[in-house]
Amino acid sequence: MSDSKQKLFSSMNIAILVAALGYFVDVYDLILFNVVRWQSLEDLGLTMEQQAQTGVWLLNLQLIGMLVGGVLWGVLGDLRGRRSVLFGSIILYSLANFLNAGVGATSGPLSFMGGFDAITTYGILRFVAGVGLAGELGAGVTLVAEISSRHGRGIAVTIIGAVGVVGAIAAGVVNEFTGWRMSYAIGGVMGLALLALRFAVFESGLFDAMKSESSNLARGLLPILKSWTLALRLIKVVVVGMPIWFTLAILVGLAPKIASEMGLSPTPKPGHLVALFYSGAIFGDITSGLLSQRLKSRKIPIGLFMFGTTVACAMVLLLGPRSAAWYGAATVVMGFFSAYWIVVITTASELFGTNVRATVTTMTPNLIRASAVPVTILFTAVADPLGAVGAAWLSGGLCFALAALALWRLPEPFGRDLDYYEE
């Protein structure tokens, strides 16, 4: 292998490693709230009913923060480079999560946080953490996709996704042994420690070429806002991923409420369900990525896994009332089939030109996550007349119907040359 090829290969491996570890910390911090929210809100003195309502409010604040951050970091990635986002985003969410360990504290090094209203502070920090978390995956996938070969980029991005989902399991395991405050602190420290590796990452060659060759080319969000075609394409990609966050926000995140209505006692612990969900997702992520490469298609594996997710959600709602063990087993299946996430993100990066790619690839996962906001609002609105189980059927059915329609209308992006611009 020549020196130039060796250098390129080494740079690509470093980029994959850094993006994968960054996504690990990203998922750890993102999922940690779902793991600890019931425990943390109980420790802060809230009743079960207050925990359910406040938990949804805090989750929505985090998701809204990710929506804001998705636009912010995406545009920055197209204007200033993919590498700059990898630095800025991790600093912001690491500091926010570290401070989250001190919410309502009356002793210890973060006891000064106890002087502020605990729930209000919790909400502010979840919003700030959401803004920071928004940039990690999109910037990493954009960078790796642009330096990989057109037929090999799916494998590279699959590695990122497979390593990343382990972070969710780590969040559940760490919380079991340390408690919610230390879990937040560990997440913050891990993120800050990862900064050192970021200095070894080089900028995307496609981005550098665009800067030097097309200085007057519109970049970031503006071309999307000016083009209904581009905007509609982005909306369709986002809607395809909506069922993934229905499963996490409703069937996992609100499991205590749903399982309680089913008559389960004790109800499944969200931390255990998160670990079960992502233990299935690890294998599902690898399977969906490899299947995409094997079939030379993004749409076919997405469709197959979306159908599997539909069946798995039905299993949770139909078999879950038997016992917490059945609820947990169905959650593993749901996690496996919901792991078409990374194929959706790869699809987003391939469907748009270099001048808007970081914006789209960063906005897509955050818009998908933010789709949980209207879903949880719908769930909450109909939970009183229909019950929690009925509300899950209604909100889930709507998500899957819209996703199937959006997938049908998307073009097939597998194997596209990414060296092009959107006018």
Q: Which residues contact 43 (CB under 8 A, 6 or more apart)?
A: 104, 180
Higher pLDDT among residues 343 and 270, named by residue = 343
The span from the CA of 85 to the CA of 79, in Å, is 10
> Which two three-digit tokens encode residue 413?
């992006």
Using CA atoms, how far residue 100 sits from 40, 54, 309, 397, in Å, is 11, 16, 33, 35
Token output for 197: 């590796």
- Is the four-CA dihedral 54, 60, 66, 68 of positive or negative sign? negative
In this structure, the number of other CB atoms found within 10 A of the CB of residue 47 comes to 11
In whole angstroms, give the CA distance from residue 357 to residue 351: 8
Cα(129)–Cα(175) distance, integer angstroms: 18
Instruction: Give dist(CA 361, CA 351) in Å, integer.
Output: 10
In this structure, the number of other CB atoms found within 10 A of the CB of residue 229 comes to: 9
Tens digit of pLDDT for each residue in 238-295?
999 999 989 988 898 888 888 888 888 777 877 678 778 888 988 998 899 899 989 9
Q: What is the pLDDT of residue 416?
A: 85
Q: How far apart are CA 240 and CA 403, in angstroms?
A: 4
Higher pLDDT, 356 or 113: 356
Query: What single-letter amino acid sits at 344?
Result: V
232-247 in b/e burial notation, b at 16+ Cβ within 10 A? ebbebbbbbbbbbbbb
The two structure tokens encoding residue 157: 């991005």
Tokens of 15: 């980029």
Q: Lowest-pLDDT range, 4-8, 322-326, 352-356, 389-393? A: 4-8
CA 305 distance to own-chain centroid: 17
Classify residue 93 as exposed, middle or buried by CB count within 10 Å of its CB (0-12, 13-18, 19+): buried
Average pLDDT over residues 389-400: 92
Whole-structure pTM value: 0.82
> Among residues 65, 127, 19, 125, which one has the least CA distance to residue 366?
65
| 6-20, 106-120, 334-348: the lowest-pLDDT one | 6-20
What pLDDT band is residue 411 in, cutting at 50, 70 and 90?
Answer: very high
> Residue 142: which of 350, 411, 373, 408 has the closest Cα?
350
What are the two backbone dihedrals, phi and then psi, of residue 296, each rounded to the nearest 5 degrees?
55, 50
Instruction: Give, as one character, the DSSP assignment of residue 412.
Output: P
Mean pLDDT over 153-162 rounds to: 85
d(CA 316, CA 251): 8
| Contact (Cβ atoms closer than 8 angstroms) between residue 206 and residue 416 | no
Q: Which residue would you say has higher pLDDT here, 4 or 150?
A: 150
CB 305 within 8 A of CB 295: no
Q: What's the whole-number average pLDDT of the chain?
A: 85
Which class for 192: exposed (0-12), middle (13-18), buried (19 or more C-beta within 10 A)?
middle
pLDDT band for position 215 (cuts 50, 70, 90): low
Q: How far apart are CA 112 and CA 109, in angstroms?
A: 8
Q: What pLDDT is recorded for position 214? A: 63
pLDDT (average), residues 389-411:
93
Confirm if 311 and 286 have CB atoms less than 8 A apart. Answer: no
Per-domain boundaries in the chain = 3-409
Give the pLDDT of residue 158.
87
The architecture in CATH of the region 3-409 reads Up-down Bundle (1.20)
- Looking at residue 306, what is its pLDDT? 96
- Whether the predicted pLDDT of 1 surpasses 60: no
Residue 7: what pLDDT?
A: 55
Q: Of 418 and 106, which is predicted with more confidence? A: 418
Q: Determine contact, residues 256/38, Cβ cutoff 8 Å.
A: yes
pLDDT for residue 93 = 86
Say whether 142 sits in a helix, a strand or coil: helix
Res 10: pLDDT: 66
3-state secondary structure of 335: helix
pLDDT at position 302 is: 96
pLDDT at 106 over 80: no
What was the pLDDT predicted at 314?
Answer: 93
Residue 395's pLDDT band, with cuts at 50, 70 and 90, is: very high
Whose tokens are 């590279």? That residue is 156
CA-closest candidate to residue 22, choices 79, 105, 112, 93:
93
Cα–Cα distance measured from residue 218 to residue 228, given in angstroms and rounded to the nearest whole number: 16
409 confidence band (pLDDT: 50, 70, 90): very high
pLDDT of residue 8: 52
Q: What's the whole-number mean pLDDT along residues 231-236? A: 94
- As a whole number, mean pLDDT of residues 4-23 equals 72
CB burial of residue 13 (10 Å; 0-12, 13-18, 19+): exposed
Per cent of the chain over pLDDT 90 is: 25
Give the mean model confidence (pLDDT) for residues 131-135.
88
Cis before 270 (ω within 30): no
